């Protein structure tokens, strides 16, 4: 399986069909809660793999001083640009196409107080290189907020999901809808309609968490390719050994583990 999943189309559909002021607010609240801050005043925010752009918008709402969002997929770039326009097209927020594996491009960006890359680096085809490239963009004393698919929680097995993804990416629209239905039945409802209340709770938690939509995330999960899994402790060790980054906090138990690191150098 060599093709890339068309992430941008999924994000464009998310913004067209699910964007709301409530999701916008949830995204900003969740971002600040994980960072343990009241706002992002005075903070430069680099969003690597901005997707829908909702979290760049969250940084804007949290009063970040400067925002730069980039994504590999042109439709993600366009969708992020749309949310930027919705915010009044601020000059301090730039959006463009870029690749986290392109070192020349990254070097031109300089370093940032807060480098954010949620659910992106494991979709590049070279996860550890992508983590390293992104970490180089963190300014001395700055923060690094990333989320990666965890090999510690994946069920059934990574091989099982690899096969599902291969079939989903090779499928046409109708077959994809069927596979989405299969996923909701088997993993959302656990094969029983009696679990509907739990599924509805999960859908609401997704929205209250990062302002996301359950079905957008289901498609992203089934399609998301290339993809790799990371062992939580291996990520912590890698960033300690290579960059001397300190782990500030980590949230585990979901498909993606969230990590917040600080670059102690230059204090």
Ligand X SMILES: C[S@@+](CC[C@H](N)C(=O)[O-])C[C@H]1O[C@@H](n2cnc3c(N)ncnc32)[C@H](O)[C@@H]1O
Q: Binding-site residue total for ligand X (CB under 6 A)?
A: 22
- Cα 105 from Cα 230, distance rounded (Å): 25
Residue from the set 61, 71, 180, 258 that interacts with ligand X by CB under 6 A = 71
**96 touches ligand X by CB under 6 A:** no
- DSSP-derived secondary structure letter, 3: P
Task: Pick the stretch among 29-37, 97-105, 171-179, 180-188 that binds ligand X (CB under 6 A).
Answer: 97-105
Instruction: Report in angstroms how near the CB of residue 249 gets to ligand X at its nearest.
Output: 18
Minimum CB distance to ligand X smaller for 31 or for 43:
31
**What is the strand order of the sheet 256-262 is part of?**
93-97, 66-71, 44-48, 112-118, 138-149, 256-262, 246-251
Q: Please check whether residue 136 is in contact with residue 117, taking contact to mean a CB–CB distance below 8 angstroms.
A: no
Among 15, 45, 49, 83, binds ligand X (CB under 6 A): 49
- Binding mask 110-129 toward ligand X (x if CB under 6 A, else -) reads --------xxx--xx-----
3-state secondary structure of 69: strand
What mask, x for binding ligand X by CB under 6 A, covers residues 218 to 237?
A: --x---x-------------
For ligand X, give the closer residue by CB, 52 or 169: 52
- Least distance to ligand X, CB of residue 223, Å: 10
Q: Which has the closest alpha carbon to 149: 166, 130, 168?
A: 130
Q: Where does residue 203 rank: exposed (0-12), middle (13-18), buried (19+ CB within 10 A)?
A: middle
| Per-residue tokens: 124 | 């590049």
Binding region for ligand X (CB under 6 A) out of 37-45, 93-101, 137-145, 237-245:
93-101
Q: Which of 137, 149, 141, 131 is nearest to 238 (CA)?
A: 131
Contact set with ligand X (CB under 6 A):
7-8, 11, 49-52, 55, 71-73, 76, 99-101, 118-120, 123-124, 220, 224
């Amino acid at each position: 399986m060599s093709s890339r999943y068309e992430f941008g189309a999924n994000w464009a559909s998310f913004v067209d069909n699910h964007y709301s002021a409530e999701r916008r607010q949830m995204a900003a609240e969740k971002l600040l809660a994980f960072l343990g801050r009241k706002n992002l005043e005075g903070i430069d925010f680099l969003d690597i793999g901005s997707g829908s752009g909702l979290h760049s918008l969250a940084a804007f709402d949290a009063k970040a001083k400067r925002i730069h969002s980039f994504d590999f997929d042109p439709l993600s770039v366009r969708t992020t640009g749309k949310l930027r326009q919705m915010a009044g097209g601020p000059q301090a927020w730039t959006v463009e196409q870029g690749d986290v594996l392109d070192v020349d491009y990254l070097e031109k960006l300089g370093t940032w107080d807060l480098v954010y890359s949620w659910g992106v680096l494991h979709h590049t085809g070279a996860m550890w290189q992508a983590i390293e490239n992104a970490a180089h963009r963190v300014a001395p004393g700055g923060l690094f907020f990333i989320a990666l698919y965890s090999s510690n929680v994946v069920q059934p097995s990574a091989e099982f999901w690899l096969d599902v993804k291969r079939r989903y990416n090779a499928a046409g629209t109708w077959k994809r809808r069927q596979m989405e239905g299969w996923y909701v039945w088997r993993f959302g409802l656990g094969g029983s309609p009696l679990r509907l209340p739990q599924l509805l709770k999960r859908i609401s938690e997704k929205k209250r968490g990062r302002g996301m939509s359950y079905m957008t995330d289901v498609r992203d999960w089934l399609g998301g390719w290339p993809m790799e899994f990371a062992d939580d402790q291996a990520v912590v060790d890698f960033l300690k050994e290579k960059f001397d980054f300190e782990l500030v906090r980590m949230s585990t138990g979901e498909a993606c583990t969230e990590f917040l690191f600080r670059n102690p150098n230059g204090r």
